[in-house]
Structures are given as C-alpha cells and as structure tokens.
Structure 1
Amino acid sequence: MQKKISIYIIVLFITLQASALFAQPGTNNSSEKTFSSKEAQNKQEQPYSLTQAEKEYLAQKKTIKFCIDPSWLPFEALSNDRHIGMSADYLKLISQKWGIDFQLVPTRTWTETLEKARSRECDILALAMSTPKREKYLKVTKPYIVIPLVIATTKDKPFIADLPDVIHHQIGLTKGYAYIEFLRKEYPEMKIVEFETVHDGLAALEKGIIYGFIDNLDTISYEISNYFSSSIKISGRVNRNWDLGIAVRNDDPVLFGILDKAVRSIDTNAVKKIHSKWVPVTYQHQYNYSLLWKILAAVCVVVLLLVYRYQKIKKFNQKLQRLYLKLAENENSFRSLTDHAHEGVVVVQDKRLVYVNPSMCKMTGYDQDTLLNMETFLPLIAPEARETILANHLKRLAGKASPDRYESEFLKKDGTTYPIELTGVLITWNNKPATLNIISDISERKNAEEAIRFMAHHDSLTELPNRYLLMERLGQSLAQAKRSKHQLGLLFMDLNSFKKVNDTYGHDIGDMLLKMVADRLKPLLRETDTLARMGGDEFVMLLPEIQGKSGVETLIARIDSAFQSPFTLGELTISSSPSVGFSIYPENGDTAEELLRTADQRMYDMKHSKK
C-alpha cells in the first residue's frame, strides 16, 4: 500500500510539473502612439502643399543631408551602410510624396550623430526629441512617433511601481539620449550610468553592474527578445513619453517648415503599415477617459481576474482530485504515465536508485537492472558536480532549504557529459524518506543559447568579432597595458574602391570579397591579437602588446604584401588594396575612443593620399 501511495505521488508530481509548464504565460507587449483620428481628419480637410518659395528652395538645395542613430532598432539603424528601421520607411514615404532627395551621413554612435548635427554636417536628424540643450542648434517638427519609457531589471527583482523607489540604485541610460536631461532635472539625486548603446546597457544589467536600465518599450522588448530573454524583464513604466520627430538645424526655417508639413501630412494608414512592419504585436489605444473611469475600469478588471482565477483554481483542484481517484483504481496506469514520460524520473533513497523510468535508462545508457543495483547514484553525475548534487539531496532529506530546480552536469555510460535540469521534491517511499527527481536533458537548449551568444558578439558574414566584442577586449587590453606599462597597437583598415565592386558586380560578390579578405588577414595575426569587422568594408586589428612602432609597421607591410595577389571569386578576378591607419597606446591616447579615432583618421588620410 505504501508503494502504491509513493507511485501516486510520482504521478501527481509529474502532473503538477506539466501543468505549471503549460500555465506559464507568454507576453509580447508593444506600445506606440501616432496621429489621432481628429488630426487625421484635419489633414484630409486641410491638405498640405509647398509654397513657390519652398519649391525653389528644394530645387536649389538638391539634397538634404541626414544622420541617424546607427544602433536603435526597431526605430533606426545602420546595416551594411544602409539606413533601416521605421525612420527609414518614413523618410522614403516623404521623399516619394514631396520629391525630397535625402542623403545619409554615416556615423558610428549616437554621440557622433549629435556632434555632426551640432557642426552642421547634417541638415536633419531622422528621429529625435527636443531638449533645452538641443534647442541651441536643432528645432524638432511635430512628433510622428510617441513611445512610453520603461525600466528593465533582472528577473529576480520585484515590480517597480514608481521610479523614485529605485533612484538611489545605479540606473543605466544610453549616452546622449534626450530623456537623460529631463530625468537629471527631475531626479537630481539619481545615480545615472551612461552606455554607448542599449545592448551595452542591458549586458551590464545582466552582469549585475547596474540595478536597472531605462529606455523605450519597443527597443527594450526587441533587445530582450533577441538577446536577454532568459535573464531580463520589464519591471515598470517611467511616467514619461518619448516624443520623436524630425530634428532640423535651427538656422534653416524654410527647411523646418517643409519637413513639418511633410510630417503632418503623413497618412494614418501609412503609419499603421510602417509600425506593424517593425513591431508586429500592437494594441489598440482607447480614448483618454477621466481618472474616475480609469479607476473603475481597473477595479472591474481586478475583480474579474480574481473571479476567473478562483474558478480556474477550483476547476483545477476538482480535476486533480478526479485524477487522483482515477489513478488510485489502477497502479498500472501510474506506471504507464512515468514509463512514457519524456523526462527521466528517479527516486533516490539512502543514496541508491530505487525507481527509474525508461527515459532515464535511455538518457544515461544503462539498463534498468544496472541502475537499480548501483551502490550510489554518484556515477551518473559529472565529477565536478557530485559534491553539489549530493549536498542538495541530503539537505532535502533533512527538510532544510535547497533549490527545487537547478542545472548541472551528468555523466553517460560511455563517459561523455551532458547538461541537465533537475527538479526534486521530498517524498515518502516504503515508509522512509526519499527524493523524487525529474531529470531533463537540456543539451539542445544549451547549444541554442551558445549560438545566440556567438551571434551577439560576432559578425554574421565573416564570423569575426563585432564592435561589441572588440570594445570589450580593447578595454581589457588597455587595463592590462596600464598595469604592465607596455605598449598596445590598434590598426584601422578599409578597402579602396570597395563601393565600385558592389556597384559593378553586386552585393553578393562584395560579401564574398569581404570573407576572403578576412581569411587573408587571419594568418597575419598572433593568437593573442583580435581581428574584428566594424561594418561595411572596415576592419580593426587589436595588438594587445607590441614593442614600439616597428611592430605595427611590420604588420602593415605584411598586409600590403598579402593584398598583392588578386582575389579569385568564381570566374571573376578582382584586385583590391587596403588603406591602413594605426594608433599606439600611450603615445596616441589612453582610452579606446581616442585610439580608434586616431587610427580611423590616419586610415582616412592614407586613403585620400592614394587618390
């Protein structure tokens, strides 16, 4: 009878596990406001058109130079020297309708974008928010995107009801973004840590460097979905929206008037189409009712949810009771459930296996008799994990706190290790305490996670380290160079006339050439060096330790020599030469930004000296 009751517990435990799994909700929230229906009606009643003076201005101006945030999806980004995202679609729409020719001025960071706007190298910023500081050199049109700000934390942090609750913690924000100015004014005591990109900030959040990170809902949702789904969540909303329009240089009122008309004339159907393209899941926004109606609606929703939850729990309990009674009628049905479970199911008593299901046998490579005759369960566990798993098992038997679910490493009969997730609970087996354990092989999940981590830090075309990984290694190498007082070298290289290759033979040939260039450069470097692709035809080589300028010059000579031979791409033979600039720590700077800027400038000078 005791054995039957123990088996009942096994089945009930598996049922609860499955129910908990299926009951986990998935969410994908996105929110964005655009023009109201009243504004859309006004646009239909009062169509916008250019004055004769404005038409003459565009004819004389010919092209409008614009800059963007190069890493801010889904709103805008620079991908292979091409403007993508929502702002790209809006500018294309304006260009087609109003006959305006826009010309992109590429930048590497948002900080550089603001610098180019301040120096008048850009006529407009495709997507920006007005701030007191920016009003000194920019004027922003009517917003065409309005998005809420949210705060993200790691999953172990509680819900944040109000921003003042966490302002004494370190909070991350993106360097140069408009809302930093407002938050510092509203919360002067806030401990703000600035990052170059949203991805950098969320990576620091994942590592525990900061408590939370603030940005807009769509961008944080995009980053979490692609890179941080297992570790980061959205924990609250900041009581402020981001009003984004086209920022125009403030010394050109005619251009501002043209673009403000263009923004106001955008059709609401086009807005919905662009938004649904980049943010698939949207919600229909209701009219702004009074506070009383909002409170009443919220109370009704809470009450309905409580009633629904109560009914659901009641039905679940009734279903569980019926299941228990049904299982009690026939022990064979219990064994059938465990025998056909996909996960391994084991009962451990006195460190021995007293029950194993077929999936556990298949997972380990042992037959059932061999497993049940083992003196202890430890041979199934990887040597480095045995101490931890045994300690958790003994704590659970003693009724002490121990993790209900955790990951570890197991050992197969053939000696290979594999990752598992173990869920354990204390039960009674034949009148003695034992542990019931559900073992899941998570090899496929781990492989997928590793692939995602690789994609986040490497260029998809050449599989070289990308900008994020380069900057991380450059920071580490600089710290080491400062401690050891040795020199560090940085080379910035791009291909001469690469655009001509793309225009002549197409981007597929251009991509093949970039991969062959990477293959030629790799053998020229040491194992401790880093070769990274920054984007387009730009490559950076990090030399963590060099002996004077000669070490850099020797490598540049080897690069020039390697490019003497043409590249063979199928039936095509293409000759390509590089332009290389360099910088040395500490002679040319002691920060990553200074070294990159110097090497880039020297590369630029070298390229133009060859023309």
Structure 2
Amino acid sequence: MRLKSILFLFVFIFSLNSYATTQNQKIKLQLQWKHQFEFAGFYMAKEKGFYQKFGIDVEFIESDGKTNITDKILNEENQIGVWGSGIINEWLNGKDVVFLANYFKRSPLALITKPEIRTPEDLVGKRVMIPFFDVSSASFQQMFKFFNISKDSLNIVEPNFKIPDFEKDNIDASSTFLPNEPYYFIKNGIPYNILDPNNYGVEFYDVNLFSSRKFVEQNSVLIKDFIEATNKGWDYALKNVDETVNVILEKYNTQNKTKDALIFEANESKKFILQKNYPLGSIDINKVKKISELYIELGFAPKRDNLEDLLFISNESTISLTNKEKAFLKDNPIIKVSNEINFPPFDFSIGGEPYGFSIDLLNLLSKKIGLKFEYVNGNWVELYNDFKDKKIDLLHTLSKTSQRENDGFFSEPYLWYQTHFIIRKDNPDIQNIEDLNGKILVVGKYWASEEYISKNYPKIKLLVVDSFEDMLEAVSKGEAYALIGENLIFKYLTKKRGFTNLKLSLPFDEFNSLERTSYRFLVSKDKPILNQLLNKGLKSLTFKELNELEEKWFGKENDIKEFDNSSIKLNEEEVVYLSKKRLIKMCVDPNWMPLERINENGLHEGISADLIKTMSHKLNLNIELVKTSSWKQSLDFIKNKECDILSLAMKTKEREEYLDFTTPYFSSPFVIATLDKELFVENIEHILDKKIALVKDYAFTEFLKKKYPNTKFVEVNNVKEGLTLLSEKKVFAFIDTLISIGYTIKENSFYNIKVAGKLDEKWELSIATRNDESILNKIFEKAVNSLSDNDKQIAYNKWFSIKFEQSVDYSMLWKILIPIFLLIFISTYWNRKLYSEKEKTKKALDSLKKLQDILEIKNFELQRISNTDKLTTLYNRHKLDEVLKYELSRFNRTNISFGLIILDIDFFKDVNDTFGHNIGDEVLVEISSLLKKNVRSSDILGRWGGEEFLIIAPDSKEKDLLLFAEKLRKEIENYNFGIVGKKTCSFGVTISKINDTETSIVNRADKALYIVKNSGRNKVQFL
C-alpha cells in the first residue's frame, strides 16, 4: 500500500511538472506588413526553439495595411508589435508605449518612380501611390521639406498593396520597401528610379519591437526573455539565409514569393540591419533623440521630457555579477545612502528630495548594478554618526583618510579635484601653509582638513563650521583668514551664492599630493560586497557618462580652465609626457572642404580645424600646423615623423603599421554623384563598367581598387577636380563623402550634377597619432570623447551652411550673355538656340536666388530659435542672461535702475502628476500668453526654467514694480485654466543696486520668491 502511494505521488508530481512545462506564455506579435524576410528573425526564433526555451509561444499576426498597429497593442488585442520609427512619434504624442528593440538601423522606405522622375521636385503634380500611414511619415515629409514640396502638391492614389505597375496603375511613383520591389523591376528589365530619403539626411529606425507600458511593467522578465530569443533568431536567420528562406516558403509565404525573390530580399536586408556595425536589437539613445527632434521640428509632435522613459530598461544589472553578488542584491533590496542637505553641488536637498552630482552618479550606478538606493537627509555630523551606528550603509563624496578607513571600506575614486587656499581678494596670496600660523583657518566639522591641520599644524587656529557655504561666508565676512577647499565647489558656490570678494589662491600642494584629490564612496564594513559592486559599476562608466555629469554640475570644460591646468583630466604619465613634448605637430589634408584645408594665409580651417581647436583648448595644448601640398605628402610626413598627428584619417590595416587611431569623431556616408540625366544607381556594381573618379591616396579609394581591381577608376587630386571631370562628361561618376560632394557642388555651381546613389560604407574619421608615442593617442582619445554633440554641430553649421549663401557671379553671367548677343546677328537658328541657353541660365540664377532667400529666412529662423523657448515662444534662459548683462551694464553707466521679477507657478507638480505633462504644458503656454498681454512693450519676458518665468523691467522704481507684480498676480489668480481650474503664482521682486552682479540680483529676487513660498504662496515679496 505504501509503495502504491509513493508511486502515485511520483506520477502526480511528474504530471504536474509536465503540465507546467507545456503551458507556455502566449504572445501575439503584430507585424507591420505581410510575411516576408523582413521578419525572418522572429520566424527563426520560433522555428529553432529560442522562444520555447523561455516558455514563450508566439503567434504572428499580419498587417492589413490599414489598422493602426499602436492601437492594437494598447487595446491589448496583441501584446507586442513591430513598427517603424512612428512609435517614437506616438510616445511623444502621449501614447504609453515602450520601445523594446531595433533591427533595421535605417529605414528601407523609399519611392520607386518612373525613370524620368529624377528628384523629389519632379513629383509635383504627379500621381503617387502611398498608403495613408506613409504619406505623412516623417521620412517622406523631411525629404519633401528638403525640396520645399507640400504633400498637397502631389496627387495621392489609394494603394492596391501589390507590386506597382506604372502603366496599369496609371501612376508615376509608389512607396516601396527597398529590399523587395526593386527585384521585380530588375528581373523584368523595367527601367525605374529610386528616391531614397536616406540620401537626403533622413535616417530612421525600422523593424522596431514595442509594447504597452502596462504589459511591460507586468511582464518585465518575459519581455527581456523575448528580446534575447529574438536576437538569437535574427542572428541565426542572417547566418543561415538558405534555410530561413525555405522556412518562409513552407510556412509564411502568404505573398507567394519565389525563392529568388526572398534571397534577394535577405541580401538587401543585411544592408539595413548592419550587423557588423551594431549589436542586434540595440537601441542608440542619441539616434532616438535625433528622430524625436525631427518629429518635433516637423510639427508631428510636441516636445516631451525624459526620453529615457520610452526605452525598455531591464531591472536587472547590466554588468556581469557573481552568484554572491546576485545573492547580496536579493538579500539587500534597499541600500540606505547619505544625502547631506547643504553640500552643493555634490548633494543637497530641495523639498526633501536629494539632488547633486553624487546623487546623479549613484542613480546611474543603480541602473547598471541593479541596486535600489534610499536617501537619508541630514547634516554631515548626523550622517557620519548614523553611518558608524550602521543606520546608513553608504556615504559618498569623501576623501580617503586613515581615520575613515577604520570605519568602512573605500571605493575606487570617481572624481578628481584640486585643493586651493581660498581668501579674500584684498589679501595677498598664501605662499605656504606656515603663512597661516597665528591666523584663523575655517574648516568643516569632521572634514579631512580638520583632522589633517589640527594634527600637523597646531599653530593654526581653527574655526569649525558645518558646511562649505558657511566656510566661504566666514572668510567673506572676515571671521576667518582662509579656508582650504576644492576648486569645483568654489566655482559652483561663487556663481550660485555670489561670494564675489573671494578668490582662489595658490594650490595647497600637501593635499594635492595625497589621495585627498579624489572623492570616493565609503561602505559599511559589514557590506564588503556592496563596495565590490560599486567598484564594478564605476569601472563600467564611460568617459562620456562621467563627462556629462561633470558638465551638468560644474559647467562646461572650458569654464574650468581658470582654476585647472587642463579641462580634461590627465594622469601623471600623460602630464609628464606633454610637459616634455611641449609642441604637437599636425598634418592635414590641404584641400578637402568643408572638412579642412590650408587657406591662402597658410591657416588650417574647416570643420576639423574648429574641432581640433576645441580639443586643444580643453587639453591646453600647443598644436603647430605643418604645411603640405597634398594628402599624399601629409601621409609621407607622418611616416617620416615630421608630424605627430593627422587631424582626420580613416583607419586601415596598412596605416596601422605606423599609426594609432582614436575613436572616430566625424563620419559621413559615401555617395555616388552622376550627371542629373542619369538614373538612380542602386549598387556600385551596376556601373563598374564605366569610368569612376576617386581622390587618390584616400583610404576608401584603396579599398575600392582592391575590391574591384578591373574597374576603370580615374584618380584625381581632390573633390573639385573629380566633379569637374564629371561635369565635363569625362567620367560617368564620382564617389566621395556626401558632405564633401554637397559642399563642392554648391561652391562651384555644378548644377548639372546630382547625388544618384548611396553606398553602405561610411567614412569614419579619427585623429591618427604616431604609433611610437602611444601616450599621445591616449591623450587625444580623451579629447575626442570630450567633444559634445553641440561642439560638432556648431562646427558643421559654420562650414557646411555658409557656402550656400553665395551671391550670383555676374561676371560669369556676362561671359555667357555677350557671346549670345553677338551670335544673335549671325542666324535665326543660333538665335533660337542661344535663347534656349539663356533661359537655362536664368533658371539657374532664379534657383540660386530662391536658395539664397530660403537660407536667409532659415538663418533668421535659427537666430530666433536660439533665443526662444520652444514651448512658450518666450525668450529662453540664454537670451535672458544676455539682456540681464546688458541692463546691468546700462545701470552702471547711467544709474537708471531696472526691476527684476521671478514668478513661479504654485504647486505645478500637482498638475503634471494629476493631469499629465501635456496639460501641464498647456498651463505654461496659457500663463505665458497672460504675461505677454500684461507686460509693457519695453519689458523683457522669458521662461527662466521649468515653471519659473523672469521679467526684466527697464527704468523701474520699487513702488511701480510692486504694483505691476500685484496686477500680474491677480490676472493669473482670476484666470480659469479649463480642466485644471484655478492656479496661482508666487512673485519675488527686486531693484538693481550699486555693485550688483548677474548672480547677486537674481539671488535677491530668488530669495524673495522663497520667502513667499514658505509663507503661503500667491503673494508678492520685495527684497
């Protein structure tokens, strides 16, 4: 009987286990089109059991081409969807979607046209077959915008979702998926052209996985497993094309495609997936940001903050952890961390919420490690005592001392600084610590300086206070002679708090030579694994991540130069190297605009010149230009060690024999230029039987020569020479970068030339350094990584835009017209022919004038945008700072006072939390409108930041200013904000005073505002 019971129990448990393993999570995957190789990775993830391994059963749902895919996911009809970059637009417009993974790194959506349609301009008035969800897509709209084409100027035809037939369908163009439809045209010898938005700077993501936030939050582990399985499916599909195509033919061929067609699609798809360049499924936040900015610019969507919320981030660690570390995370779900309430910019408290550099750093580490931090507010003494009593697990922003090492484990350093004596400006510099004997030095309670000075310099009197701000105030008021402090904190607080009578004296070398020049974490001794995790997290931080944090809290790198020898942190070996080297010799390409050239004055100019200058400023380097006459000579010079670096160079195996390369800091796609009468060039291999011009000694030239050894390549000295040969019909095509060809076409009026195709390769350009001086490469690697997107954009705009604004060359016009007038008298035939030439010239000149007018408008618009807050259309912080500086200067000259008002919307956070950010934005816009209607024409009104507005009122007195502020307060109080109801504002008001600075006057108004905030709000306060 007992045996039967045991057997029954065994069978029961086994059957339960079998039942559990066969019950998979059902997922309906909504595709963005019909079955084809576009979705091969999903098919193979199912067919090879990658989904099954995670207990996922996937059903594929084809699109009908009409239903909104996002709605199907948000309505929970299907769980996960595949769509293009439209999901970013949907999120910007308030839909609660989450971007999970991306598989096509650029969009295959394009227009296939009759051969005579060569540019988007030729589409005007033509019949174009485009689905309703594509015609308004940002991809097409940006291309149309490039040519100033309205979609209303096109005759849009309802699609039949078949391969387009120009004659049968009576159309001139149709939207196309580039890996698909061209196969039919090529196979049947039908002439066609392609208008590809990618050729006009429009690069979107496609084949994107997304889901609803609700489903993701409820199934985060499932989502992570689904992405991992899908990535394996795509990897398998791309490596096993023949097998994958057979699977599609057998199970997923609803479009009845042939095997040849599917293989064609597979090979073409690889050009859009770019697996060699990007990890499968990866999402680049910077590209998502650029796509979102384009949607906003085109008016498709409003601006929305916190773009990271769109992306799926697993709650698990992003770094490799040991089993002990994983167990620690499980056993310690919450780590208690200090937050000193008044130690800006590292940590401080606003309304009980922690802010600061160290807080941001910890939150970044939280995502990488999987830790969850809970911040405990207090002053430094309280927090340190709580740490010693094991009420807090982690302290931060500490210098390493022997005393503190008894209390916990120090992490690796995460921030370096330089320690100075800080004194009043009217006192002489402190040359030596002994200069302070008998004087008062103010120190922070329990700070490293207190311990060190009291132990080593007993003759110095110490004044002990609670915060760095108190230390600055003591020196400012003369209560202490000096303090010892970090340059970064001094810089931050003097700007924020206006300690204008203080200065940085000489560095305190005793501190700078010790480990106190860095900040670290201090971890409780009963949590050694926590310290291990923090060090792993710190090690995983990129230079860019740290640099962005430092820039946010301490200002841009160039701002720090008055305190630091270098705005890029160099190690001792690098500093010693530069001190010995003293001068860096640089070779460049002397004729490669807009990237660079040596101009007639022998100076380096162009995009790279501006970026090199930015880097040299950050490194405090002396860089000398070595003049060469050609790129070949530059290469020869660096081989012979006559120069140390090349400003722009492409990495090749041959060059690696004598050069090291930094991370690329500039890239541009290679394009094929032809005469405007030629058709779209789909693939370079289609024109290899013709003459193609290339610039000699360029890396890409050597690459093409090796890849196609039997091709008629014609080598030229520079881009202009290549385009001249093309314009004169001496070659069929010229290949170079889009930026170089575009610039040279505009500069030299090659209007019979067009960009007819794009290659998959990009020109990735780095700084190249001599490989016998490896330290030099490390230094420039830091410099390259320090370049911000703004640095690059400024340089690009300066050199690529300016040449579009050229005036008409009338001397050339007369050279054309004079022969025309002479030949008019010869014969009627020539008269007619030359009249035709004149008309062509007139059209070209009209086009130039039109382009010039457009650019003038654009430049005006750019200037307006740079000074305007996008949401409210009021002046932005940049413009307000400029006006404030001017008004202070005017006040100092004329003694005519001006007023400053800062107003803040009361309880604005409640609006966003209750009604959402879109309604919050509407409230900001309505208040902006109210203020516009009520300020004087001479007043300057702008958005100061968030829900704060600032008004600069010239020629104002205190009484009038208070009446004005009270009027504004009542206007807002009495206004009805629709669904939100009533809102109020608090006002801080002040008048300019003698010796005011930008900081002091703003601080005074700010202080008045906070008096109102702490005394009931909806009032006006003057200080």
TM-score category of the 2 structures, normalised to the smaller one: 0.3 to 0.5
Structure exhibiting the larger radius of gyration computed from Cα positions: 2
How high is the TM-score relative to the length of structure 2?
A: 0.28
With CA pairs under 8 Å and 6+ residues apart, which has the higher RCO, 1 or 2? Answer: 1
